[in-house]
Structure 1
Amino acid sequence: MTNFGLAGGEVVLQQEVTRPTFWQIGPVGEAMFYFLAAVTVVWFLWGVYDRFARYSAGKPDHAARLDDLPGRIARAAKVVFTNEKQFNRDFVGGVMHAFILWGFLTLLIGTTILAIDMDIWTKLLGQESFFTGAFYLSYSLVMDAMGLLFVVGVGVALYRRYGLRMERLWDRHNSWEDAFLVWSLFLLGVGGYVVEGLRILGTEFPTHETVSFVGYFVALVFQGVGMNPEMATFVYPAAWWSHALLAFGFIVAVPMAKPFHMISSFANVVTNDDKAGKRLPGIPLDLDHTNAEDVDDFSWKEMLDQDACTKCGRCSSVCPAKASGRPLDPRNVILDLKSYRESLDAGETDSKPIVADGGSGVIDTETMESCMACMACMDACPVDIEHLSSFTRMNRQMTDEGALKPSIQDMFQNVMQKGNTFGDPNRKRADWTEDLSFDVTDAREEPVDYLWYVGDYPSFDDRNKAVARSLATIFEAADVDVGILYDDEVYDGNDVRRVGEEFLFLEQAGTLVESFEACEFDTLVCTDPHSYNTFKNEYPEIDFEELADDPMMEFDVEGFWNQRGEIDVLHYTQVVQELVQAGNLPLSGTELDYTVTYHDPCHLGRFNDEYEAPRDLVRATGCDLHEMPRNRANSYCCGGGGGGLWMDLEEEEKPSEERLREALEDTEAGPAVEKFVVACPMCLTMYEDGRKTGGFEEDIEIVGLSELIAEAIEARDVTVGSSESASESATTADD
């Protein structure tokens, strides 16, 4: 595009600062382009509609997924556009995805702006093009710069997938769509620069096109290898159409293949339940309810989870069950369900059980038994897939069919008959108090500030009884008004729910809540993080009115319990931290001098974001605390959750053994670590076992945090006593 002007009395040719659209394409080509674009858009819209319409066949979801929709969209936009979850445990992956996302969005926005100018502003509205001058220069600079980041990002993705062959990116669900996504994006990015370079060379390097620095460089490369403007002009239409058809093909593939994750992942983040995993969905009480007999038993959100999966393998890479050699791979479970649903919809396969033994179902029972319910997969997932909801649904189906291991069924029987997982008479629940030099208040008989739910393992397991006694000693030293339920305490039901026995969980909850309501107290304090999570996040959601007419539910509770949080529910580390900070336990921070490391329990840390209280308490004892590489939200499960405590599973290496190896080899202190500190009775049990089976008995000691604090209190008392004796002796000598 040119115009004429005067300079020193001479007529000179000036180039307008813009670029020709549909250069060398012609009217017929332009018409064909618009026809194909219309078909592509219609195909895209219909395909996306069809994908989302399929979710309507799923069951309603338990959670309110669309409440405060503007706020949800804003949160999802923050998560997606900042790429914050992509940086979790993988900085390079985060940078790579940010380059791809922002480069892609910039190119998409730039193409849209160009379409508005060509098709609406000039042709439809008859206005003069705004694609000129300073706007065009700014546009070209931004598009070239962001397009370069896009190509670099996709290039890194190609290198990680095909050069490094990162293990987590390859599995049996890899298919043509994975290669199509990454290669089509790369070719679109590179192809755009090829087309731009040919145009710049064909128009003989307009001066203002230097702002398109990548395209200008490509044009110089073409010129350097012998291409002249005439050749570039001749080749340009073929390159342009190749680029356009690839773009149309990519758009058509969006609702059909992996590119759909660009839509489904955002929708998944929008509909996320921020308490997913820490609270499990309830089930209808009607006898016709089925949990996972067929694919449409899954909720619409669980189907969306399946479609949102990008096969990135982050969940699999952090799964302790997979790392231990168990048959669980969280990604493959989600993708197996998706593949089965799609094959049914396409009529390509016959119906079969969702979960069954010996490979006869979509998912094998042993796979689901392997899950530790640690929620590491959900924490690592960048698109908020809620694995535990689907896993629990299948566990409930296994329970319905009696397909659980005998050891788990024995545990169920113990809980039903005795009220605890050990099968011991429940009247012995408080026998651990007999070795104390003081009495523990019976909360059934008098009001207390703190009602202490001791839990099964601290009540019946010999090793964990020491934890209960040490915590009682701490409360006594702090002069805390605390009481227990004695033999009215029963198992809280956390793990039976995660294994799939929902009705037994409800029975235990009702029995316990009935006991809670018969007592006067302000705060409920728990020894076990599993109990803490259940009381805090799950009990308040149970509508006990619905259970009132069930003859199996032998308790008298009306409505909800603690639905509005009238009662504080705390883990003991939070309570003891408050006592130390308030001066009730005046530890100087010099009582002990052990070198220690601390293990974050899943249900305290990853489930409920409590990381500081235990660490503050370790430091308050004077111990030298060294963090393990996998700590806080990245902590590695002990292997006891999800019923693992009661199952003997084949493992290449127990999670507890791997964790102790990490403590002794990968911490900064290495073999100098003397004590492995835990704040969970189940963790204590699993690590004591791993210490024996892994051959670490001579290398490290497993201690409960309450035991460490009790030892510090004793050391303080000895020091204070010695100081007082010395003072008295000095006074006597002076006299």
Structure 2
Amino acid sequence: MNVIAQSEVTRDTYLGLGNIGYATFYLLVFITLAVFGYGLYLRFSRYTEGDDDPFARLNELPGRITSAAKIVISNEKQFNRDLYGGLMHSFILWGFLTLFIATLILMVDEYAARKILHMAFWEGDFYLAYSFVVDAMGLLFVVGIGMALYRRYWVQNHRLWGRHTSNEDDVFVWTLFGLGVGGFLLEGTRIYITGMPDFEVVSFVGYGLALLFSAIDLPTTGAALESADYSAFAGLGFNAESLHWAVWWSHSLLALFFIAWLPYAGKPFHTISSFANVVTRDEKAGKRLPNVPSDLDATNAESFDDFTWKEILDQDACTKCGRCSSVCPAKASDRPLDPRNVILDLRKYREELDAGAEEKPIIADGGTSVINTETMESCMACMACMDACPVEIEHLQSFTRLNRQMTDQGDVAPSMQDVFQNVMQNGNTFGDSPRNRGDWSEELEFDVTDAREEKVDYLWYVGDFPSYDERNKQVARSLATILKEADVSFGILFDDEKYDGNDIRRVGEELLYVELAGHHVETWEDCEFDKIVCTDPHSYNTFKNEYPEVNFDEFADDPMMPFEYDEQWNEDGEIEVYHWTQAVEELVQQGRLDLTGTELDYTVTYHDPCHLGRYNDEYEAPRELIRATGCELDEMPRNRDNSFCCGGGGGGLWMDFEEEPKPSEERIREALEDTDAGSGIEKFVVACPMCMTMYEDGRKTGGYEDEIEIVDIAELVVEAIGAEEKANLEVAAD
């Protein structure tokens, strides 16, 4: 190489591009931006065709954008349970954003600073710093894409493959890889043909490639320093200038293709839709469901027009990463549910409709619908999919819409129809007489106050299973004894208490849920109390997060509704709602229970109920109570927000599935095999009546009856304070 090195500390953006090439490039840029803009128009016009969303999605927009930027840039959800995936995505995202910003800086310098202000800032120290940062972050970008290629094609991570895996995924990842590698190759040839100026060493990757070209003695004509247009040399044989010219155009055309393609395919469009989805997320998604109007003509998922614009955005935001699928207990138990496939099946159907396809049932029993009823019956409403999703897709909102349509169509499983009938006729899921609801308390050595007749501090909602199920009655008596020992004023509603409605709502029976909610808030209005305490996390969630959302006034005049209440209940949260572990943990902190932390010496493990943990972020109160009894708590690998569902939520407790293994069996296996204590775990501790029922069943069907005992935290506390006799637990056990 016999050239004089460039001395000015900057570079020519369009090195080797003559007037014709320059004009051609910007014609292509104009076409690309027009295609991109039209694609965005089609996307956003489709959202405007979606139904209104019941929740505020664009309020306090500056704060939403700031919060979303923090979530997206930090990649905090990508790191959740997957360090490799978190690093991989962080390298790609941070590198991509840096390269995007670098391109914007070039545009500002080229068209604003130089042509309008007749000045330049992209030179000297600024240029050196710019070059170093771009090379460093560009290298991270290429490394991240390399990690993605390794995981997808070498390791073949199971999460990345499914029936919606397509050539689009391959084109996306290889295009990004080509852009990253092509950018460095372009930089290396430019540095080489401009004489490898010393200041370019800050572009360490490009400079390294230039050194490689020098080592192999790649021929150069020196045209880069003699002419602004050396494209003619491309036809004179292979040399550095012709290589630079070819790489420049290849890189540019690939970049323009990516920009133009971005709005038209799901995988690349997630770079826009995912951020929009995080911005418009509902902080209470899942724990509160959208209400239905009182209009009986309203439909749920009869056609795609029923879906809201946010549900359509959810579909577009899905990146097919499979995180939701990997944590879904239904999929792990071979039930026919894959949360990712439901979202992507809906997206595919929408795209087919937009292309002119004929409509078909969205959900039905059979193979002609978009979603099969068995698929949605499999959902446990555990919210694991939503917790794992890095782009805040609200699966349960779409799933509930499908469940409501099933209920409207009468496609609900016969066992669930029996539950609906029991609730309608008797106010409970067991079909037992309402008069028997308080019978569990007759075994106690003290009387339980009737909260309808006497003012109490705690209005205790006992729930269906503690009221009617023999095993859970023992838990109810234990909790009553704890409250009595703590000298707490508490009372129950006896036969005016009905089922809370949480799970039948998630199965799709919305109007029956409204009836139950109206009955309860109307009953509570006639009682005097300070706080509501719930035995069941499902009741706790629905009272805390969903009853305040119901517009009772809309239904109060309906003759089918058994209430006249017409206000918004607890809209400002003036009535505190507690799960019993929260209330009792406060009593322990106040010293109102005789616990020293040394009473029991069991080795136990604890299962986080979905509706207490993932739904409401309460993880510590139950653990504090367990420790307060003296028990040694050995955590299962899947704990807190990563807890594995018992299988009873979303109506699962009332359905029969041919699954292997049952979620409850798998969870007990985890307790006995994957904890540090292993088979030394003596008690499997729960804090939910449904969990108690499911795990007692799983202990029998899984063959674990002689290996472990299922107990509620309340039973541990009662034993620790020495009050078993007052709770009459011996009688219950017999």
For the superposition of Structure 1 and Structure 2, which TM-score range results when normalised by the shorter chain? over 0.9
Does residue 129 of structure 1 match 2:137? no
- Secondary structure, aligned partner of 2:264: coil
Q: How big is each residue's C-alpha offset from its partner over 1:633-670, in whole Å with a ceiling of 9 and x where there is no partner?
A: 11000000000010001212100000000000111111
> Of the candidates 279, 286, 311, which is equivalent to residue 277 of structure 1?
286
Partner amino acid for 2:302? E
- Secondary structure, aligned partner of 2:533: strand
Partner of 1:9: none
CA distance in 2, matches of 1:136, 1:239: 22
Does residue 65 of structure 1 match 2:57? yes
Structure 1 unaligned blocks of 5 or more: 1-11, 719-735
Partner of 1:170: 161
> Of the candidates 596, 607, 618, which is equivalent to residue 599 of structure 1?
607
Partner of 2:151: 160
- Secondary structure, aligned partner of 1:85: coil
Partner amino acid for 1:158? L
Please give the residue correspondences for 1:245-394 in structure 2 after superposition, counting only pairs within 5 Å.
Answer: 245-257=253-265, 258-347=267-356, 349-394=357-402
CA distance in 1, matches of 2:47, 2:122: 42
Partner of 1:221: 212
Does residue 53 of structure 1 match 2:45? yes
Deviation of 1:228 after TM superposition, in Å, equals 2.5
- Secondary structure, aligned partner of 2:205: helix
Partner of 2:96: 104
Deviation of 1:586 after TM superposition, in Å, equals 2.4
**For this pair of structures, how many residues does the alignment match?**
705
Does residue 508 of structure 1 match 2:499? no
Partner amino acid for 1:601? P
- Secondary structure, aligned partner of 2:578: strand
Partner of 2:69: 77
> Of the candidates 194, 197, 214, which is equivalent to residue 188 of structure 2?
197
> Of the candidates 468, 479, 490, which is equivalent to residue 482 of structure 1?
490
Q: How big is each residue's C-alpha offset from its partner over 1:476-519, in whole Å with a ceiling of 9 and x where there is no partner?
A: 11111000001111101001100000000001111111211111
CA pair 50-341 structure 1, distance change in 2 beyond 3 A: same
**Identity of aligned pairs, percent?**
68
Partner of 2:411: 403
CA pair 643-13 structure 1, distance change in 2 beyond 3 A: closer
Partner amino acid for 2:295? D
Q: Does the CA-based 8 Å contact 2:461-2:493 persist in structure 1?
A: yes
CA distance in 2, matches of 1:628, 1:640: 19
Partner of 1:711: 719
Deviation of 1:126 after TM superposition, in Å, equals 5.4
Partner amino acid for 2:587? L
Deviation of 1:340 after TM superposition, in Å, equals 0.3
- Secondary structure, aligned partner of 1:285: coil
Partner of 2:499: 491
Greater RCO, CA 8 A, separation 6+: 2
Q: Does the CA-based 8 Å contact 1:204-1:229 persist in structure 2?
A: no
Q: Does the CA-based 8 Å contact 1:200-1:215 persist in structure 2?
A: yes
Q: Does the CA-based 8 Å contact 1:587-1:716 persist in structure 2?
A: no
Greater shift after overlay, 451-460 or 209-218?
Answer: 209-218
Does residue 629 of structure 1 match 2:637? yes
Q: How big is each residue's C-alpha offset from its partner over 1:35-82, in whole Å with a ceiling of 9 and x where there is no partner?
A: 111111122122112201101111100101111111111111111111
- Secondary structure, aligned partner of 1:583: coil
- Secondary structure, aligned partner of 1:677: strand
Q: How big is each residue's C-alpha offset from its partner over 1:369-407, in whole Å with a ceiling of 9 and x where there is no partner?
A: 000000000000011000000000000000001101100
> Of the candidates 447, 462, 465, which is equivalent to residue 454 of structure 1?
462
Does residue 90 of structure 1 match 2:48? no
CA pair 514-687 structure 1, distance change in 2 beyond 3 A: same
Partner amino acid for 1:69? L
Q: Does the CA-based 8 Å contact 2:481-2:723 persist in structure 1?
A: no
> Of the candidates 659, 667, 680, which is equivalent to residue 667 of structure 2?
659
Deviation of 1:240 after TM superposition, in Å, equals 0.5
CA distance in 2, matches of 1:568, 1:577: 15
CA distance in 2, matches of 1:304, 1:505: 28
Partner of 2:106: 114
CA distance in 2, matches of 1:438, 1:647: 37
Partner of 1:727: none
Q: Does the CA-based 8 Å contact 1:330-1:387 persist in structure 2?
A: yes
Partner of 2:557: 549
Deviation of 1:455 after TM superposition, in Å, equals 0.2
- Secondary structure, aligned partner of 1:306: helix
> Of the candidates 605, 608, 621, which is equivalent to residue 613 of structure 1?
621
CA distance in 1, matches of 2:5, 2:387: 63
CA distance in 2, matches of 1:590, 1:717: 20
Q: Does the CA-based 8 Å contact 1:591-1:716 persist in structure 2?
A: no
Deviation of 1:467 after TM superposition, in Å, equals 0.4
Does residue 29 of structure 1 match 2:38? no
Deviation of 1:201 after TM superposition, in Å, equals 1.4
Alignment RMSD: 1.3
CA pair 566-660 structure 1, distance change in 2 beyond 3 A: same
CA distance in 2, matches of 1:392, 1:660: 29
Deviation of 1:175 after TM superposition, in Å, equals 1.1
Does residue 434 of structure 1 match 2:426? no
Does residue 180 of structure 1 match 2:188? no
- Secondary structure, aligned partner of 1:331: helix
Partner amino acid for 2:69? A
Deviation of 1:224 after TM superposition, in Å, equals 2.7
Partner amino acid for 2:460? W
Partner of 1:38: 30
Deviation of 1:186 after TM superposition, in Å, equals 0.6
Deviation of 1:95 after TM superposition, in Å, equals 1.1
CA distance in 1, matches of 2:587, 2:471: 26
Deviation of 1:717 after TM superposition, in Å, equals 10
Greater shift after overlay, 37-46 or 617-626?
Answer: 37-46
CA distance in 2, matches of 1:426, 1:450: 22
Q: Does the CA-based 8 Å contact 1:592-1:715 persist in structure 2?
A: no
Structure 2 unaligned blocks of 5 or more: 222-238, 727-734
CA distance in 2, matches of 1:386, 1:51: 19
Partner amino acid for 2:440? W
CA distance in 2, matches of 1:57, 1:313: 28
Deviation of 1:277 after TM superposition, in Å, equals 0.4
CA distance in 2, matches of 1:92, 1:716: 50
Partner amino acid for 1:688? E
CA distance in 2, matches of 1:710, 1:192: 68
Partner amino acid for 2:663? P
- Secondary structure, aligned partner of 1:196: helix
- Secondary structure, aligned partner of 1:702: strand
Q: How big is each residue's C-alpha offset from its partner over 1:110-162, in whole Å with a ceiling of 9 and x where there is no partner?
A: 11111221223223x15133221111111111111110000001110111111
> Of the candidates 672, 680, 683, which is equivalent to residue 688 of structure 2?
680
CA pair 431-716 structure 1, distance change in 2 beyond 3 A: closer
Partner of 2:250: 242
Partner amino acid for 2:381? A
